[in-house]
């Protein structure tokens, strides 16, 4: 069963302070694990919009849900949130973030500081079927590798794979480039692609190379 998610924002200001610009400590969501996952996608920290909506990747310009819908269900539109979660769960994909709590102004990963990591090692221990960890962006990967160096060394059975961020801040990667990179990672993990996404891969392989 998918675990309920919850976000909280804790103000780090004295009761008598009138300065509303002081940074606040934010906390992310509980993991979405599903049943018998074989892969785990790790983001960095939910954006302001995500915390407001209490949903992973809630910013309308984030390509995550559209990308998952295309690769796994053959539809490039953004699915309803519940539908997106069901698509991931039915394909054995769990979802969480490397950062559990931090201080951040705005939503950019570069503004994240005073990090408290999520206990990702616990999720991997509780779900031994997970043999692939996909990092949605560089910040997610850097936090994880810094905190869990020993785990990485002790778990050669898990492939840790860096992927381009689906965030709108990663404007250099359009939808087609993102789809190509994530598709290859899913194929490596044995995650079944939708017929439409698989057909696109075959078409790209047959396309002539131009100088």
Query: Would you state the pLDDT for residue 200?
Result: 77
Question: How many domains does the chain divide into?
Answer: 1
pLDDT recorded at residue 8 = 43
Render the chain in DSSP notation, one character per residue: -PPP---EEEE-S-TT---TTS-EEEE-PPPB--SS-SEEEEES---HHHHHHTSTT-STT--HHHHHHHHHHS--SPPPHHHHHHHHHHTTEEEEESEEEEE-SSS-GGG-EEEEE--HHHHHHH-TT--EEEEESHHHHHHHHHH-HHHHHH-TTSEEEEE---STT-TTS-HHHHHHHHHHHHHHHTPPPPHHHHHHHHHHHHSPP--
Given this model, what pLDDT does residue 208 score? 45
Residue 100 is assigned to a structural domain of this protein: yes
Question: Is there a domain that residue 185 lies in?
Answer: yes
Q: Quote the pLDDT of residue 174.
A: 97
* 53 Cα distance to chain centroid: 16
pLDDT (tens, 9 = 90+) of the chain, 211 residues, equals 444 444 444 433 344 444 456 678 999 999 999 989 999 999 999 999 999 999 999 999 999 999 999 999 999 999 999 999 999 999 999 999 999 989 988 878 677 888 999 999 999 999 999 999 999 999 999 999 999 999 999 999 999 999 999 999 999 999 999 999 999 999 999 999 999 998 876 666 554 434 3
79-88 own/partner pairs: CB under 8 Å, 24+ apart: 81/55, 85/2, 85/32, 88/32, 88/34, 88/41
Tell me whether residue 207 is in a domain: no
**What pLDDT sits at residue 82?**
98
Query: Domain range spanning residue 140?
Result: 26-200
Q: What is the CATH number of the domain that holds 103?
A: 3.40.470.10
**Is 69 part of any domain?**
yes
pLDDT for position 11: 38
Compute CA 102 distance to the chain's CA centroid, rounded to the nearest angstrom: 17
Report yes or no on 168 lying in a domain.
yes
- The answer to the question of residue 49 being in a domain is yes
Instruction: Look at strands 132-136 and 39-43 and give their pairing.
Output: parallel
Cα–Cα nearest to 88, from 56, 121, 114, 113: 56
| Distances from the Cα of 103 to the Cα of 10, 25, 43, 63, 73, angstroms | 10, 5, 16, 25, 36
Give me the pLDDT at residue 2, please. Answer: 45
pLDDT of residue 106: 81
Task: Estimate to the nearest angstrom the gap between the alpha carbon of 28 and the chain centroid.
Answer: 12
Query: Is 120 within a domain?
Result: yes
Q: Is residue 3 part of a domain?
A: no
């Amino acid at each position: 069963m998918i675990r309920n998610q919850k976000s909280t924002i804790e103000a780090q200001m004295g009761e008598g302070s009138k300065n509303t610009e002081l940074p606040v400590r934010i906390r992310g969501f509980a993991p979405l694990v599903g049943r018998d996952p074989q892969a785990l996608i790790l983001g960095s920290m939910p954006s302001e919009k995500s915390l407001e909506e209490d949903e992973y990747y809630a910013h309308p310009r984030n390509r995550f849900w559209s990308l998952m819908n295309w690769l796994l269900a053959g539809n490039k539109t953004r699915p309803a949130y519940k539908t997106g979660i069901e698509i991931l769960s039915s394909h054995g994909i769990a979802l969480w973030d490397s950062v559990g709590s931090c201080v951040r102004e705005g939503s950019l990963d570069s503004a994240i500081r005073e990090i408290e990591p999520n206990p990702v090692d616990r999720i991997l221990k509780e779900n031994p079927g997970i043999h692939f960890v996909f990092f949605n962006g560089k910040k997610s990967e850097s936090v994880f590798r810094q905190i869990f160096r020993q785990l990485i060394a002790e778990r050669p059975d898990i492939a840790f794979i860096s992927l381009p961020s689906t965030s709108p801040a990663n404007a250099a990667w359009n939808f087609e480039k993102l789809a190509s990179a994530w598709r290859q990672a899913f194929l490596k993990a044995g995650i079944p692609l939708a017929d439409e996404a698989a057909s696109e891969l075959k078409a790209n392989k047959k396309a002539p190379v131009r100088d």
